[in-house]
Amino acid sequence: MGCKCGSIESANCHCGRIVGINGNMLTVEFFDSVKQNEIAYAILDDIHLKAEVVRTRGRYADLQILEEPKGLKVGGHVDFTGELMAVELGPGLLTQIFDGLQNPLPGLAKQCGFFLKRGMYLDALSRDKEWEFTPAVKKGDTLSAGDTLGTVPEGIFVHRIMVPFSLKGRYSVERIATHGSYRVSEIIAELQDMKGFLIKVSMVQKWPVKIPLNCYHERLMPTDTLMTKIRMVDTFFPVARGGTFCIPGPFGAGKTVLQQMISKNAEVDIVVVAACGERAGEVAGTLREFPELIDPRTGKSLMERTVIICNTSSMPVAAREASIYTAVTLAEYYRQMGLHVLLLVDSTSRWAQALREVSGRLEEIPGDEAFPAYLESVIAAFYERAAIVKLRDGTVGSVTIGGTVSPAGGNFDEPVTQATLKVVGAFLGLSRERSNARRYPAIHPLESWSKYWSIIKSEDLKLAQKILKDGNDIAQMMKVVGEEGTSIDDFVMYLKSEYLDAVYMQQNAFHAVDGAVSAERQRYIFNKIVKTFGTKMAFHSKDEARTFFQILIQKTKDWNYMAMESDEFQKIEAELDKMIGEVAKNAQNIPEN
């Protein structure tokens, strides 16, 4: 007896037949059974196109095709795999550039040239490369999923080879490979379960991307500040290791530059960058730039700690949805090794739009702005995969997630921003006014917030925030009553807030010194500014006050550009002190008005 598809080899060949095509949605009549979210291949001559089951109704399954559907026909054959979408985990992920389905893009370029070719799927991890394996267990040890079998060096990291995460229960080691070089697919251990069943383990394992990897002992509270070396973030709106943050902003406000700054300077072990539905040129920039940049913490190239998942805007939409799950799964994998991982997603809105496209094609009842009703829970579930955890061996690892949001029309009231704000720990809202005025990073100082701990003492921070707020109020009032209607004290307060903005909040991302500021330097400069604000100042006229602050701003900016250990740094600091000293002396001669 053969299968309905015509195959005579098996009655159960797990396949189906296309009955409808609408954009990237296939309707397939299946003959046996299908699993929700299982992967299938639509077959077009000798090309196999990956698709994922998103709905079943009766004998029909709706599949979102992860490639361009051009050329498919009604009646075409579809093979179901019975497996959920999964990624390969093992040594060799770092420095790689994958597409949303974990195809290595350099490998594709080698085979297909300038253009991507649909239906080409390569192994994520090189099967030829040999890794130097050092066993960490011996025969007879009892282990469970996620425990270390041995290690291999991967660049600057010790990569743990672990008991496959999908194994349940306890296992005893029957055989473990000796120290030596192995390929990822070679068997390095044999484990026996309680019933005596033998399992062979290689250095590569698979994990379904949509299921969080939780082989840890417990989740901890995110308390340590993750240094980004951006003054405005670390001081005013800090991010914690294992926490979450979002960067919403209209186009042109500098989301991507801000994220690139963070990816370069963040004090973490590994950075996973997910370019999700954004510009390919930016990814290309990162690809060319990172290998050249030196990570000051390790002295090695930045690329050595980076994995890039890249599904740019012109690549198939359904694969865009998969890409951020691929990225977060890789991040979780390295967390299992006791490493601190930062995942940056640019942009979560494109991912939400991919959900919307699929939902629209399925003719689901649309919610706000036609996004599906489950948008919020999907976003929440994604951000909840960020965590700082204690592993079973006592080491601590973390995944921090930062996502940009691209709200339609720059309006933060839209569904994706709102759903994101509910679940993140820090909100770095970018403002078009600030970017128009070239005040970068254009993080809005009054609207943004963070629930994590700053590197600055909280009373000093409160003072600075008060000056910003008062300065802003005065600026608003001045628009109505004019400068002449403003008292000189108020005017000086306004100038102080402008000073803080110009020399501390604004930062030149492209300058070698100003682009990355250490915690030590941030505290030093901030203290200096607080001291300046504490100085009693008085001026004869508003013009005099303005000129004073203009010179002060310029000098402080010059100061920001000098390396902290340089002579110029001390020289300018002395000049600043002198200026402040003089104005304080003058203040005694000018009566309070």
Partner 1 sequence: MRRIYRKIEQIVGNVITVVAGEVSYGELATITTPEGSSLAQVIRLDGDRVSLQVLAGTKGISTNAEIRFLGHSMQTPFSKSLLGRIFTGSGEPRDKRPAITENLIDIGGPSVNPVKRVTPGNMIPTGIPMIDVFNTLVESQKLPIFSVAGEPYNSLLARIAMQAKVDIIILGGMGLKHDDYLFFRDVLEKNGALTRSILFIHTAADPTVECILVPDLCLAVAEQFALQGKRVLVLLTDMTNFADSIKEIANTMEQIPSNRGYPGDLYSQLACRYEKAAAFEGAGSITILAVTTMPGDDVTHPIPDNTGYITEGQFYLRNGRIEPFGSLSRLKQHVNNRTREDHRSIMDSMIQLYALYKESFEKQSMGFRISAWDKKLLRYGERFEHEMMDLNVNISLDQALDLGWYILADCFQPAETGITTKLIEKFWPDNTRMSIA
**Taking CB under 8 A as the criterion, which residues in 181-240 touch partner 1?**
none
> Could you tell me which stretch among 7-15, 66-74, 177-185, 416-424 binds partner 1 (CB under 8 A)?
66-74
Stretch that binds partner 1, among 113-121, 150-158, 159-167, 264-272 (CB under 8 A): 113-121
Of 13, 156, 280, 579, which one interacts with partner 1 (CB under 8 A)? Answer: 280
Among 245, 312, 321, 244, which residue's Cα sits nearest to residue 284? 312
Yes or no: say if 560 and 568 are a contact pair by the CB < 8 Å rule: no
Pairing of strands 396-405, 244-248: parallel
Q: 151 forms bridges with which residues in the sheet? A: 134, 160
Tell me which residues in 367-386 interact with partner 1 (CB under 8 A): 369-371
- Minimum Å gap between C-beta 63 and partner 1 is 14
Give the residue with the Cβ less far from partner 1, 337 or 525: 525
The two tokens of residue 375 are 């948008």
Written as one string, the DSSP assignment of 368-390 is GGG--TTHHHHHHHHHTT-EEEE
Sign of CA pseudo-dihedral 377, 379, 382, 387? negative
DSSP calls for 570-589:
HHHHHHHHHHHHHHHHHHHH
Among 593, 461, 476, smallest CA distance to 537 is for 593
Instruction: Single out the residue of 57, 138, 168, 438 in contact with partner 1 (rule: CB under 8 A).
Output: 438
With binding defined as CB under 8 A, does residue 409 bind partner 1?
yes
4-12, 149-157, 218-226, 244-252 -> range binding partner 1 (CB under 8 A):
244-252
As given in the structure block, the two tokens for residue 444 are 């809005």
Q: Which residue shows structure tokens 């002992």?
A: 217
Tell me the window of 195-203, 216-224, 305-313, 441-449 that interacts with partner 1 (CB under 8 A).
305-313
Size of the site for partner 1 (CB under 8 A): 83
Q: Is 315 in the site for partner 1 (CB under 8 A)?
A: yes
Tokens 């939409």 map to which residue?
317
Q: Whose Cβ is closer to partner 1: residue 393's or residue 543's?
A: 543
For the bound state, the minimum distance from the C-beta of residue 444 to partner 1, rounded and expressed in Å, comes to: 17
- List, in sequence order, every residue forming a beta bridge with 144; answer none if it has no partner: 170
Q: Is 565 exposed, middle or buried (0-12, 13-18, 19+ CB in 10 A)?
A: exposed
- Residues 446-505 close enough to bind partner 1 by CB under 8 A: 479, 482-484
Distance CA 581, CA 590 (A): 15
- Per-residue x/- mask for partner 1, residues 130 to 169, rule CB under 8 A? ----------------------------------------
The binder of partner 1 chosen from 33, 36, 117, 158 (CB under 8 A)? 117
DSSP 90: S
**DSSP H/E element including 263:** helix 255-265
239 versus 358: smaller Cβ distance to partner 1: 358
* Among the listed residues 250, 397, 403, 425, the single contact to partner 1 using CB under 8 A: 250
Q: Are 41 and 48 in contact (CB under 8 A)?
A: yes
Give CA–CA dist 507/323, Å, rounded: 32
| Binding status of residue 97 toward partner 1 by CB under 8 A | yes
Q: Which of residues 2-31 bind partner 1 (CB under 8 A)?
A: 19-23, 27
Q: Which stretch binds partner 1 (CB under 8 A): 159-167, 211-219, 308-316, 321-329?
A: 308-316
The Cα 135–Cα 156 span in angstroms is: 19
- The distance of closest approach from Cβ of residue 302 to partner 1 in the complex, given in angstroms and rounded to an integer, is 15
The footprint of partner 1 on residues 552-571 (CB under 8 A) is 553-554, 557-558, 561
Please state the closest distance from residue 478 (CB atom) to partner 1, in A. Answer: 9
